[in-house]
């Protein structure tokens, strides 16, 4: 019984990661934690003093409100990073993919391997943030498991389509555009930091179609225990992004990597 091809790729990346993990874990862990401290605790202290504000976020401390949002956002960032630079590198600079394709591996295997990897890295980020959330009373709950799953799904909803896109473009400068016009606006406006009810109506509609909004809602619902049937919608939307992204990758990978 031989190891399935995608797992072999995953194994390879895991081994490579062993040398790098210390650096990225620090960032994947440190960034969300620091953000939580600054926004959850720092700004949170300012917000919790205001009764009207508290009501708007569901009568929970701001830390409890923003933390699950940041969990999903952190997964988005991790997935984006993992699906842009390393993929371009494997195609163009280190040309790792070409080396792999000289073996029995096919480009489909490469796609599957990358999907596994994104899920894994998103999980690490989600677990890291989740662990931090165990400490404050307001966020300690069994629902954190659900939040972690929501984080992984969010990561995939970003990572898989972006991987497909990376394989179809040639210039890395576009990554900065992705950061500036997709990732950052979502981070700011998709409901992680403040409820989207505060957005003007037309922009609220835009927020509804972003994967991050659904990831945030799902993650927050689990963490605060306010999960309801809307969860099915959130899961469906996120999954749609994953599936579409996967099919897209199945087309762009072979096209880019054909000899």
Partner 1 sequence: MNVALVSRIVPVQLRESRRAHHMVERSMVVYRRGWVMIVSGFFEPLFYLLSIRVGAGKLVGDLDVGGQMVDYATFVAPALLAASAMNGAVIDSTFNVFHKLRYAKTYDAVLATPMTPGDIALGEIAWALIRGVIYATTFAVVIVVMGLADSPWIVAAVPIAVLIGFAFAGVGMAVTTYMRGWADFEFVFLATMPMFLFSGSFFPLSRYPHALRVIVQLTPLYHGVELERAAASGRFGAGSFVDAAYLLALGAVGLVVAARRIERLLRP
- Round to whole Å and give the CA distance between 247 and 154: 17
Range 109-145 burial, b when 16+ CB lie within 10 A, else e: bbbbbbbbbbbbbbbbbbbbbbebbeebebbebebbe
- Round to whole Å and give the CA distance between 129 and 78: 12
170 binds partner 1 (CB under 8 A): no
- Selected binder of partner 1 within 16, 131, 134, 188 (CB under 8 A): 188
Question: Where does this chain touch partner 1 (CB under 8 A) — which range of 3-11, 27-35, 213-221, 229-237?
Answer: 27-35
Question: Where does this chain touch partner 1 (CB under 8 A) — which range of 53-61, 97-105, 219-227, 233-241?
Answer: 53-61
Listing DSSP states for 186-228 in one string gives: HHHHSSSSS-GGGS-HHHHHHHHTSHHHHHHHHHHHHHHT---
Contact (CB, 8 A) for 224 and 143: yes
- Selected binder of partner 1 within 178, 199, 231, 257 (CB under 8 A): 199
16 binds partner 1 (CB under 8 A): no
Q: Within positions 69 to 98, which residues make up the interface with partner 1, using CB under 8 A?
A: none
Is 27 or 240 the residue whose CB approaches partner 1 more closely? Answer: 27
Write down the least CB distance from residue 7 to partner 1, Å.
Answer: 26
Contact (CB, 8 A) for 207 and 234: no
Write down the least CB distance from residue 29 to partner 1, Å.
Answer: 11
20 binds partner 1 (CB under 8 A): yes
CA distances from residue 194 to 34, 36, 107, 149, 198 in whole angstroms, order as listed: 18, 14, 41, 22, 8
35 binds partner 1 (CB under 8 A): yes
Q: Which residues of the chain form contacts with partner 1 (CB under 8 A)?
A: 20, 22-24, 26-27, 30-31, 34-35, 37-39, 42-43, 45-47, 50, 53, 56-57, 62, 173, 176-177, 180-181, 184-185, 188-189, 193-194, 198-200
């Amino acid at each position: 019984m031989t190891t399935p091809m995608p797992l072999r790729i995953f194994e390879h990346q895991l081994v490579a990661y062993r040398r790098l993990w210390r650096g990225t874990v620090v960032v994947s862990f440190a960034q969300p934690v620091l953000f939580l401290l600054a926004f959850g605790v720092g700004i949170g202290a300012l917000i919790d003093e205001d009764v009207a504000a508290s009501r708007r976020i569901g009568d929970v401390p701001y830390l409890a409100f923003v933390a699950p949002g940041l969990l999903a956002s952190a997964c988005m960032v991790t997935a984006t990073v993992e699906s842009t630079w390393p993929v371009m590198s494997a195609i163009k600079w280190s040309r790792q993919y070409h080396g792999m394709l000289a073996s029995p591996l096919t480009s489909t295997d490469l796609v599957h391997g990358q999907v596994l990897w994104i899920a894994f890295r998103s999980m690490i980020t989600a677990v890291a943030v989740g662990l931090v959330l165990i400490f404050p009373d307001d966020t300690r709950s069994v629902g954190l498991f659900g939040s972690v799953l929501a984080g992984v799904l969010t990561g995939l909803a970003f990572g898989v389509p972006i991987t497909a896109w990376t394989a179809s473009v040639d210039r890395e400068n576009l990554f900065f555009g992705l950061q500036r016009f997709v990732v950052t606006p979502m981070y700011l406006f998709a409901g992680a930091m403040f409820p989207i009810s505060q957005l003007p109506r037309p922009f609220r509609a835009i927020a509804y179609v972003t994967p991050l909004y659904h990831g945030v809602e799902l993650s927050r619902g689990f963490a605060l225990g306010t999960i309801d049937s809307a969860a099915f919608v959130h899961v469906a939307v996120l999954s749609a992004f994953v599936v579409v992204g996967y099919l897209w990758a199945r087309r762009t990978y072979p096209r880019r990597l054909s000899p």
